[in-house]
Amino acid sequence: MSSAKPLEGKVAVVTGASRGIGLAIAQRLGEMGAKLGLCSRDPKKLEAATQQLRTVASAVFAMPVDVTRADQISSFVQAAKKNLGPIDILVNNAGVGWFGPTQDATEEAWDSVLDTNLKSVFLMSKAVAPSMIERKTGHIINIASLAGKNTFKNGGVYCASKWGLMGLTGCMAEDLRQYGIRISAVCPGTVDTEFSPHTGKDPAKLLQSEDIAHAVAMLVTQAPQSFISEVLIRPTAKP
Ligand SMILES: NC(=O)c1ccc[n+]([C@@H]2O[C@H](COP(=O)([O-])OP(=O)(O)OC[C@H]3O[C@@H](n4cnc5c(N)ncnc54)[C@H](OP(=O)(O)O)[C@@H]3O)[C@@H](O)[C@H]2O)c1
């Protein structure tokens, strides 16, 4: 990267930024000079993350938001634009998991996972797209998963959300590339966060949140004439 602050003057919105991968991405984008718009549901955890990020970013706007709710997304996007300016980068990171035999999953579990991991990306992207189209620039990065490329026992509900997200990402990239808007999917393997217990896996051999932030940093510094549409990330050591 040629400049120490390659995102100076840019506005980056990160969903699910209070911990884990979202917090690491926000931290990295803030260090690169971006003004940050952040959301997640728990106000106390979001406030703690905001305090941390204010030490690295030039401006931080945070709002407790449930990304499954269209009304809350609309208010958040409007407020972020008012506080920070037009949104250049959207990272759709908020996500939840449910793992078990698909036939045992409740309808509530299905709705929670699909609404958080898939519908929210549709709603957030729809909310930011008009201003990106008007400005003929923008980058939307969707944090998917290797579970969006593979299938495995007990993964039916989660895989359905992430395979759906991969399809949505590819199709929206085609819809929006004519306006200079780039859409990418990042597919990590298992990351050492609070997301799931990772039973039986050596934490030292898992991916770290910073590994995912590194991939996002690479994507947003790509020269404007091309975009990397998918990044698959695996730990070097097998967990
Ligand atoms: N960890 C892994 O092994 C792994 C691997 C591949 C992909 N991923 C994906 O990476 C993303 C981040 O995962 P992570 O490991 O960082 O998980 P995490 O540590 O559990 O963090 C999830 C974040 O999303 C927020 N969130 C959850 N539901 C939300 C909602 N309805 N509205 C707004 N915010 C919401 C959480 O805050 P609140 O609970 O306060 O809302 C939190 O900030 C997810 O999309 C996940 O599927 C994770």
What domains can be seen in the chain, in order of their start residue?
A: 11-233 (3.40.50.720)
Q: Mutation test of ligand 1: which of 193, 209, 216, 233 has the most ligand atoms closer than 8 Å to its C-beta?
A: 193
The two tokens of residue 174 are 């085609």
**Ligand 1 atom nearest to 20, measured from its CA:** 16
Residue 204: is it exposed, middle or buried by C-beta count within 10 angstroms (0-12/13-18/19+)? exposed
Cβ 3 vs Cβ 195: under 8 Å: no
pLDDT greater at residue 4 or residue 93:
93
* Whether the predicted pLDDT of 51 surpasses 90: yes
**Ligand 1 atom nearest to 115, measured from its CA:** 31
Cβ 36 vs Cβ 60: under 8 Å: yes
* Whether the predicted pLDDT of 1 surpasses 60: no
| Whether residue 190 has its Cβ less than 6 Å from ligand 1 | yes
How far are the Cα atoms of 17, 75, 88, 200 from residue 81, in angstroms, in the given order? Answer: 17, 10, 10, 44
C-alpha atoms less than 13 angstroms from C-alpha of 145 in its C-beta half-sphere: 24
Instruction: Give the per-residue SS3 of 188-235.
Output: ECCECCCCCCCCCCCHHHCECHHHHHHHHHHHHCCCCCCCCCEEEECC
| Whether residue 40 has its Cβ less than 6 Å from ligand 1 | yes
| Whether residue 14 has its Cβ less than 6 Å from ligand 1 | no
Write the pLDDT tens digit of every residue in 181-193: 999 999 999 999 9
By three-state DSSP, how is residue 101 classified? coil
Catalytic residues: 158
- pLDDT cut 90: percent of the chain above it: 94
Distance CA 231, CA 205 (A): 20
| Whether residue 191 has its Cβ less than 6 Å from ligand 1 | yes
Q: Mutation test of ligand 1: which of 19, 71, 108, 232 has the most ligand atoms closer than 8 Å to its C-beta?
A: 19
First to last CA, the chain: 31
| Whether residue 145 has its Cβ less than 6 Å from ligand 1 | yes
**Ligand 1 atom nearest to 207, measured from its CA:** 3
pLDDT greater at residue 82 or residue 200:
82
What is the predicted pLDDT for the residue at 168? Answer: 99
Ligand 1 mean position, distance from CA 3 (Å):
30
What is the predicted pLDDT for the residue at 199? Answer: 77
